[in-house]
Structure 1
C-alpha cells in the first residue's frame, strides 16, 4: 500500500470552494460514490444538496481525500490544517504559483503539507472509475469499470479529451499532476499501478522530473506484467537547445527522451489515438507483443495498403512458412496467391468454419495477426454478413493462443458497441489501419534491462573548451587510439622529425576548426605554412591511412537523463547526413551494435557491394571506453569525436571537442 492509497481510493471526501465543490459533488453522485462527501464552507448551510460544515475542524473525521477549490493563498492554510488533522491527501486546484511569478509560495505549500501527499498545485484532480470516487470539477466521458487502464497526464485538457474516447477502452483511473510540487510523475504512476485492478498505464508527458525513479517505476511495472505507453511532447525543432557541437544538435528534438523511454521498456507513440490503441493491446495481452506479424484481408487493395503502411511504421511481414502455405492452398484453392499479407479473396466469405480454418492456420505460424475487417455502418446497412469473419477472428485467437487483432481500416467503421463486445471477449478491435500499425509496432518494445538506471543528472554549470592537444591526451588516458602528434604554442616551434608524413596541421582554440579554416591536410612538410589567425596554438599529427568510414561519437550531460551517447555517420557533413542514433548511458556493446545497424547508411559499414568492412567493433570499444571515462568524472560536460576514422582493422580518434566544468 502506497502513501497515496487514501487519496486515490477514498472512503470519505471533503470539498472546499462553493462553485467547484458543487461540481465535484455532482460528479461523485453521477458515478455512484458510496462514501460521505463533506462540503466545507464558512457561510453556506448546504452545497450541492449536502450539509456544509463551517470548518475542517467540524468534520466527523479527517477526510481521506480533499478537493481544495479555493485561491492559492488560502490553499496553503487549508493544506496545513488538513496535514495537522491527519487527512489522507489533497488536490490543490488553484493556479497562479511559480508559473505566475509567486516565488516561494509553492515551497510554502509543500512545507505546509509535510508528510501528507498533495497533487498539484494547478492540478485538475483524480477520477477513480473503479470505486466511483471523483475529485474532479468538470465533465468527463468515463464510466464505472471493474478493471482497466490508468491515464496520467501533465495536461488536464489532454486527459479530458482522452476520457471521451469511443474505442471501448476500459479506464480505471484518470489523474493529473499539475505543477507536481510534491508528488512527482514516478510516485503517482507507481501508486496507480499498485492497484491490482489496473492493467496498464498511459502517459502524456511534458517532462520527466526524476529519470532514475521513472526507470525504477518501469521495471516494477514490467515485473508486475503491466505495460506502459507514453506520448512525449516537446520534441519539435523549437525544443532543441542551441549548442556549439554536432552532438548537441543531432541529439536534440526528443532523441534523448525517445532513447530513455525505449531503454526503460516503455512504448512510445506520437498520437493520442495510437496511445489508446496500445493501451487496448496492453490491457488484453500485456506487454511484450511478438514481432512476427501476419495480415489477412479479403481484398487485394487492403493487402497492398497494409503492406505500404507497414514499411514506414517499421513493421515487416515475414514470408509464409512452407507447411502453412500448403495448408492454406488446400483450403483456398489454386487461384489465391499465398503470401503475407494475405488476400484470401471472397471465396470463403460467409463460411464460418472455412474462414476460421484459414485464420487459425495463418495465425498459428506467427506471433500475432492483423485481420482487416470494416463492418458496414449498422444505421444504414445490414452487418450480418460480416459476422462469420468477425467470429473467425475470435475463434482463431482461442484456437492458437496468439493475439488476433480485428482492424478497421477507418476508425469509424468499428462502432463502440461492437468494439466493447470484442474487448469483453478478450479480442482487441483496432480503429484505423495506420494507427493500428503504429500501435502494434510500439507494443513490440523490448523490456528494459533489469536494474538499469540512468546516471543522475547534474545541475547546469559554466564550462570551458579544452584545446585539442589537451583533449587528445585525455582520450589516450581513457585508452582511445589517437594519432601520433606534436603540439606547440607557435607554428615555428612544431618539431615533426619523429613523425611520419603526410601530416595534418590544426590550429588550436576553435570549436569547429574546418569552418575556421584551421585544418590543413595531406602536408608532406610544414615548411612555408602560414599562421592561422585566431589560433592559440598548433597541433601536427600523422594522418591516418586506409580509412573506410568517418563516424561521429559524442557524449554529453543531459539535464534530465544524465548522460547521453550519440553515434552515427560523421565528418564535416554529419549534420547534413543527420544519420545518428542516441542512447542513454549506461549501455552495452550489443545496444551500440544494434543502434549502428539501425542507421540508414549501415550498409556502408557492412561491406556494401563487396567493399571492405570497417572495424565497427573497434568503434564500439571506443564508445564504451569514453562512456565509462565520462561517467566516472563529473567534471566532464561533453566529449565529442568527429570524426572517428574506421579502418579495416582498428579505429582512431582524429578530433576531440571536450568541455569541462569550470
Structure 2
C-alpha cells in the first residue's frame, strides 16, 4: 500500500491548470490556514487567485508534496507522469471521463489504465475527484468552498461523492471534522487504502464512509479488523444498489433478498454501523467522536414535559434501545431532588418546579444517571435567538455540564428539533464532555447504532467470482447434489414412463407427492400433486400433470415449521445466505434474515432466533420444538455445497425445508449453476 503521508499532509502544493477550479484551490488552502509553499503552475505565467503562476513544474522551488491536476483527461496523463519523475508525494486528478464514464467505454477504460501506469508508485486520488481538506494540519486541495475549521481531534469522512462531501463540510452540528476526503473513481487508491492509513492518525476519533460500491472485499475486511483492534467506530452511509444477478433468477430467495441485501449483510458482518440517512450519519459520528462504542443499549431520559417523555419512549420503538425501570438508588435520589409531586419513571418528566435553578436541575439530572445506564438524555430545545431571550436556557447548559462533571457518566443534551440546538451551544457542551444531539429521532437511531455489540472477527467472505452462464438442475439432481453434502431428502423415484408411477409410489411408501421435473415453480404450472395415498390416485394424477419426467416422492410427516434456506450469488458482495419462513408463507410473511457465506453455526442460530417464526421453532402453544440441530445441519449442508461449487453456482434454494421434532428434510430444492 502506498504511503499517503506527503499527499495528505503536504508542506508544498502545486496547482496545475488555469481555470476557476484552480483559483478555488488557492482560496480553500488559504481558508484553512495553509502556511506552506503553494504555487499555481500554468505555461502563460498568468495570475491565479492573486498569485503569479510558474511556467512549468520544473520551475517549482524544492520538492512537490501534493498536486492538484486541473487539466483535461488526456493532459492529465502527461502531468501525472511528469510529477512521478519529479518524485512528487502524490496528486489529485480532477478530470472526469475515465472508467466512471461507462463500463462499456473502451476508450475511457484504456485512459484509466494509462493513468495508473503513468502514476506508478506515486499515489493519486481520483480521477473525477475533488481532493481533500485536512483540518488537523491546516491544508486543503479542494476546488470549491468548504465549511471546515482547524481542529485538534475529530472524525475523518471519506466519500464517493464530491457534492455530498461539500454538503457535509457545511454541517453546523458541532461535529469536528479532521479529514474530509473524496475518493473519485478510485483508479489506484481505494477508499479502504485511505481509511487504513487514517486509522494510524491518533487524532482521528471515528471514520465515516459514504459508499457507493465496495470493490475489493478483502480490503474492507482488513479495514474492519484494524478498526476493531483500535476501538475506532466505522459509520457507513451506503447508497446505490449492487448488480444483483436477478435477470435470470428463478427462486423465491432472489425476490426476497433484493439488490441491497448483500451490502447490508456485508456491513453487518464487518461490524460497520450503517446509518440510513445523512443526519443519522452525522449524529452517529458525533457521538462516536465523544463516547466511542456505548457500553450497552440501556438509556435514560429526563425532560420537563410529559409529551417529550412519551415522545422519547415512542421514538425508541423499533430500535434496540431500552429504558430500564428506575432502581432503588435512582428513586431515592430523584425523590430527594424533586419532591413528592413528581411521578418517578424512565423516561422522566420532572415538570417545571426546578426550572431556572441550575443547582436543583443538576441534582435531579445527576440522580437520573447510573452506572448501568450507557447514556442519559437531557431533552431540551433552545429558543430562537433572533426572537427570544436565549439566556433563559443557560440553566440547561450549566446543569448538564455540572451533572457530567459530578457523576462522570455519559450525558447528552437532545433537541427534539435539530434546528433548536445552536452550534455554539453544542460546541460548549461538547467541550465540557456533554454530548449534543440534533434531533431526537436521529439521535436515538445513532445511539442504537453505537450500542450494538462489536461483531467478533469473522472468516473472510466467499468471493463471488466472475459472471457465468447458468442453467437449472432438475429437482432430483439438485437434491442428490445437496444430499452428498449432508442434506436429508425424502425417499423418491424418478419415472419417465407414467404408467409406472403407481408401483413406484408403493415402493417409496404412501402418502406421496408427484412432481413434474424441470419446472422451477410447479404449483402454477400444473406440475404438482400432493397427498396421494393409493396407486390409483397416483396413476390418475400422473395423467393430468404437465409433461415431463415425474418425481415420485414420499411426503414428510410431522411438520412443525416450514423454513426457506436459500443462497444467491451477489457479484458485489459474495454469496448471500437467506433464512426465512418457507412454503406458502415465503412471499406472504417476507420473514427473512440474510448473511454471507461462510456463516458460523452460532451466527446462523442467532439469525434464526430473530425471525418472526422463531416461536414456532422453539415450540408454541403446546406444540413441541423442532430439532434445531437438524435444522442447523441442513444449513451447514447448503453452505458446504456452495463452498465446494463456488465457481459454478448462482442460486441454491430449499423451500420448504420441513422441520419436525426429529429431523429437517428438504421437500423441494433448486440449484442454478454453470454446467
The answer to whether TM tops 0.5 is yes
Counterpart residue number, 2:175? 169
Paired residues of 1:240 and 1:249 also in contact (CA < 8 A): no
Matched, 1:226 2:232: yes
Counterpart residue number, 2:16? 16
Q: Give me the TM-score of the superposition, normalised by structure 2.
A: 0.93
Paired residues of 1:210 and 1:560 also in contact (CA < 8 A): no
Deviates more, 1:245-254 or 1:170-179: 245-254
Paired residues of 1:2 and 1:191 also in contact (CA < 8 A): no
Deviates more, 1:566-575 or 1:584-593: 584-593
Q: Distance in 2 between matches of 1:397 and 1:244?
A: 57
Deviates more, 1:368-377 or 1:120-129: 368-377
Q: Distance in 2 between matches of 1:212 and 1:546?
A: 44
What are the ranges of 5 or more consecutive residues in structure 1 without an aligned counterpart? none
Deviates more, 1:193-202 or 1:325-334: 325-334
C-alpha distance after superposition, 1:304-363 (max 9, x if no partner):
111111103443322222443344334333332222211122223233333323322322
Counterpart residue number, 2:656? 643
Q: Among 267, 277, 283, which residue is 2:283 paired with?
A: 277
SS of the counterpart of 1:441?
A: helix
C-alpha distance after superposition, 1:444-475 (max 9, x if no partner):
23222225422223111111111111111122
Q: Measured at CA, do residues 360 and 583 of structure 1 come closer, stay the same or move farther in structure 2, by a change above 3 Å?
A: same
Counterpart residue number, 2:419? 412
Counterpart residue number, 1:59? 60
Q: Distance in 2 between matches of 1:270 and 1:117?
A: 32
Matched, 1:562 2:574: yes
SS of the counterpart of 1:70?
A: coil
Residues 257-656 of structure 1: matches in 2 within 5 Å? 257-364=263-370, 365-450=372-457, 452-494=459-501, 495-525=504-534, 526-531=538-543, 535-634=547-646, 635-656=648-669
C-alpha distance after superposition, 1:43-84 (max 9, x if no partner):
224433334222222222341111000000000111111122
Q: Measured at CA, do residues 2 and 164 of structure 1 come closer, stay the same or move farther in structure 2, by a change above 3 Å?
A: same
Q: Distance in 2 between matches of 1:175 and 1:268?
A: 19
C-alpha distance after superposition, 1:77-132 (max 9, x if no partner):
11111122211111110112231533411111111111111111111111111122
| Alpha-carbon shift at residue 221 of structure 1 (Å) | 1.3
Paired residues of 1:288 and 1:447 also in contact (CA < 8 A): no
Paired residues of 2:244 and 2:571 also in contact (CA < 8 A): no
Matched, 1:146 2:152: yes
Paired residues of 1:506 and 1:513 also in contact (CA < 8 A): yes
Q: Distance in 1 between matches of 2:478 and 2:434?
A: 58
Counterpart residue number, 2:42? 41
What are the ranges of 5 or more consecutive residues in structure 2 without an aligned counterpart? none
SS of the counterpart of 1:395?
A: helix
SS of the counterpart of 1:244?
A: coil
Counterpart residue number, 2:88? 87
SS of the counterpart of 1:175?
A: strand
SS of the counterpart of 1:486?
A: strand
Q: Distance in 1 between matches of 2:589 and 2:431?
A: 49
Paired residues of 2:133 and 2:142 also in contact (CA < 8 A): yes
Residues matched between the structures, number = 661
Deviates more, 1:172-181 or 1:643-652: 643-652
Q: Distance in 1 between matches of 2:399 and 2:604?
A: 43
Q: Distance in 2 between matches of 1:240 and 1:419?
A: 46
Q: Distance in 1 between matches of 2:407 and 2:246?
A: 50
| Alpha-carbon shift at residue 259 of structure 1 (Å) | 1.7
Q: Distance in 1 between matches of 2:245 and 2:288?
A: 32
Q: Distance in 2 between matches of 1:139 and 1:239?
A: 37
Paired residues of 1:31 and 1:143 also in contact (CA < 8 A): yes
Q: Distance in 1 between matches of 2:547 and 2:301?
A: 62
Q: Give me the TM-score of the superposition, normalised by structure 1.
A: 0.95
| Alpha-carbon shift at residue 493 of structure 1 (Å) | 3.8
| Alpha-carbon shift at residue 543 of structure 1 (Å) | 0.8
Counterpart residue number, 1:217? 223
Q: Measured at CA, do residues 394 and 532 of structure 1 come closer, stay the same or move farther in structure 2, by a change above 3 Å?
A: farther
Paired residues of 2:529 and 2:541 also in contact (CA < 8 A): no
Q: Measured at CA, do residues 18 and 591 of structure 1 come closer, stay the same or move farther in structure 2, by a change above 3 Å?
A: same
SS of the counterpart of 1:547?
A: coil
Paired residues of 1:638 and 1:659 also in contact (CA < 8 A): yes
Q: Distance in 1 between matches of 2:278 and 2:191?
A: 19
C-alpha distance after superposition, 1:198-220 (max 9, x if no partner):
11111111111112211210121
| Alpha-carbon shift at residue 2 of structure 1 (Å) | 5.7
Paired residues of 1:124 and 1:176 also in contact (CA < 8 A): yes
Residues 112-151 of structure 1: matches in 2 within 5 Å? 112-151=118-157
Deviates more, 1:617-626 or 1:321-330: 321-330
Paired residues of 2:526 and 2:545 also in contact (CA < 8 A): no
Q: Distance in 2 between matches of 1:629 and 1:212?
A: 23
SS of the counterpart of 1:104?
A: helix
| Alpha-carbon shift at residue 524 of structure 1 (Å) | 0.9
Cα RMSD of the aligned pairs, angstroms, is 2.1
SS of the counterpart of 1:361?
A: helix
Paired residues of 2:2 and 2:122 also in contact (CA < 8 A): no
Matched, 1:189 2:201: no
Deviates more, 1:18-27 or 1:69-78: 18-27
SS of the counterpart of 1:556?
A: strand
